[in-house]
Structure 1
Amino acid sequence: MSKYLLDKFLFTIDRDPALVERYRGEPRATVEWWEAEEANRILSCIADERSTWLAFDDVEREALATHDHVRLFELGAHPFLTLTLFIAMFERDHGPLEYQLAYGAALQHLSMPYPDIAT
């Protein structure tokens, strides 16, 4: 498991409006594409030097593919990264602050200490 890789996925998708829309509409395919094509570019690996550790495990892959922000938080993904990306994807489907309130309510069952979000 790599919190860094989870956070890097969330960060890079959030920074590109086309990728936000792709992830919203085809989450599983976007996760698979990003993991296969982009994850190794994080360290500027050339094709002959691709690393095998830059991959999601099955739990991470499923949480990303199903937009499960609660599970991502439990896995250690930074909550600000999930919140900003998910606002970009889903706020348009809700009234003012409705999505943000639902996001927070879904995390209410968690108590301190929260999962470590240090990278």
Structure 2
Amino acid sequence: MNRNRIYYVLITVVTIVLGLASRQFADYFPFWIKEYLGDVLWALMVFWMFGVVFKRKQSVTIAAYAILFSFGIELSQLYHDTWIDAIRNTRLGGLVLGFGFLWSDLICYTIGVAIGFLLERFFYKSVLVKK
């Protein structure tokens, strides 16, 4: 596979904008969407970012990297110390590292990575890959 980095950066940015919008306009969504959409989009963004970095790796490898990274971030939320909580209390630190461990986030991350994997497979030959 030879991913087109320009497309992947663009869809990463779009995913970030959608994720931030899902938090900003959360009150307009039903509970199950506002509660989980941001986490699904966060993992989808991680999938796209690994696609940018590892442009020649197979989709399943990118998915594995994204799952391991996402789960690692979630598991890191079990650790609390002054220095890491200070990072988490910044806007960017909170968005990247989160605040507290939730089992439901692992499900959301799996769904987000699966969406990225399926979208990549669906659009593989038509859009996302250099000809």
**Structure 2 length as normaliser, TM-score?**
0.35
**Structure 1 length as normaliser, TM-score?**
0.37
User: For the pair shown, which has the larger CA radius of gyration, 1 or 2?
Assistant: 2
